[in-house]
Amino acid sequence: MISDDIVVIAKKEIYTVKNITELNILKVKYLGKKGYIKTQFLLIKNLKKEEKINKSIILNQQKKKIKKIIIKRQKEIELEKNNKNFLNQKIDISLPGKYIEMGSEHPIKNIINKIEKFFVKIGFEIVVGPEIEDVYHNFDALNIPKHHPIRTEQDTFWLDKNILLRTQTSNVQIRIMKRSKPPIRILTSGKVYRNDYDSNHTPMFHQIEGLFIDKKITFIDLKSILILFLNFFFGKKCKIRFRPSYFPFTEPSLEVDILNQKKKWIEILGAGMIHPNVLKNVKINFSKYTGYAFGLGVERLAMLYYNIQDIRLFYENDIRFLKQFKFNNFI
């Protein structure tokens, strides 16, 4: 026979227990495989259909109510336990609070900020562009011939026959020159990608490139701006050497070296006067306008600035390494 007050009886019994272990014993008593509700279901299996349905409804209701009471009591017991543990804790209010250290920018970002602030002060505009680029903007418009080794899979990450991860930030210069009229004075920085990895190279690194196009821009203007920048970055005692070089997109071209602490010349950037073919590709009148461009690897400068021997340290996310630059942020 099904008792109508079983829920009341169960509730009284449930609220007498003081811990989860005793509560689980009552849960098994009323809702377990051999518990009260299961037993009552077995007793009604031989009843007539209509009576069986009515009693099944009552039993299911009782089961839901008892289950709800058990869940509620479980939460109350856990809360009482937590409150008791909290009250038993001894808190010394004289102790200082937890100090959360201020983070800092990555050393590579610090170098980028330092360079950008210098060029902004002398009138350059900061611009950005896409890292996924097409062949025209990355190679063709820059006067880089189709047989050039940088176009091979050994040097470039190709996504298909026409799309690639940019190998230099010069693609931004092409896009700016196509949509803007001289005078143009821009600086662009960002990630570039080349298939190389060792202590001096990573597959992804950062470049900064500058471009200045106007009337009567000369090679002397280029050398002057580079000397001014390097004296700012490395100090006026920095020894600088210019060497002739070759780049498909500049003519004449040069490379710049500085003398490091070990008295060795280290290449730090490349530059040159913009090749007439490049100006022609972007429909700028090369008989009227001239200009210069320069590019440098941020990681290379960071390694020299911080005297770091392995470029891979910048990207291993070792907190011990990164903490050294906490107070080196440029203001």
pLDDT tens-digit map of 144-192: 888 877 777 778 898 998 899 999 899 999 999 998 899 999 999 999 9
Sheet holding 125-127, edge to edge: 125-127, 184-193, 204-214, 290-297, 265-274, 250-259, 240-247
pLDDT at residue 4, rounded to an integer:
57
Say what the pTM is. Answer: 0.64
Note whether 82 and 113 are same-domain residues.
no
Note whether 29 and 118 are same-domain residues.
no
Burial 81-111 (b: 16+ CB within 10 A, else e): eeeeeeeeeeeeeeeeeeeeeeebbebbbbb
Note whether 35 and 144 are same-domain residues.
no
pLDDT at residue 1, rounded to an integer:
41
Assigned domain for 157 exists: yes
Note whether 52 and 198 are same-domain residues.
no
Assigned domain for 226 exists: yes
Structural domain harbouring 23: 6-88
Note whether 210 and 316 are same-domain residues.
yes
Assigned domain for 53 exists: yes
pLDDT at residue 209, rounded to an integer:
94
- Split into its structural domains, the chain has a count of 2
Give the residue from 60, 88, 116 where a domain finishes: 88
Note whether 70 and 205 are same-domain residues.
no
Note whether 192 and 164 are same-domain residues.
yes
Assigned domain for 331 exists: no
Note whether 24 and 150 are same-domain residues.
no
The CATH number of whichever domain residue 135 belongs to comes to 3.30.930.10
Assigned domain for 263 exists: yes
299: buried, middle or exposed (CB in 10 Å: 19+, 13-18, 0-12)?
A: buried
pLDDT at residue 289, rounded to an integer:
94
Note whether 174 and 72 are same-domain residues.
no
The string of DSSP letters for 106-157 reads: -HHHHHHHHHHHHHHHTTPEEE---SEEEHHHHTGGGT--TT-GGGSTTT--
Note whether 17 and 144 are same-domain residues.
no
pLDDT at residue 2, rounded to an integer:
47
Note whether 14 and 150 are same-domain residues.
no
Give the residue from 88, 116, 132 where a domain finishes: 88
Assigned domain for 195 exists: yes
pLDDT at residue 45, rounded to an integer:
81
Regions of the chain where pLDDT drops below 70 = 1-4, 198-200, 326-331
Assigned domain for 97 exists: no
pLDDT at residue 244, rounded to an integer:
94
Assigned domain for 98 exists: no
Give the residue from 61, 88, 115 where a domain finishes: 88
Note whether 31 and 148 are same-domain residues.
no
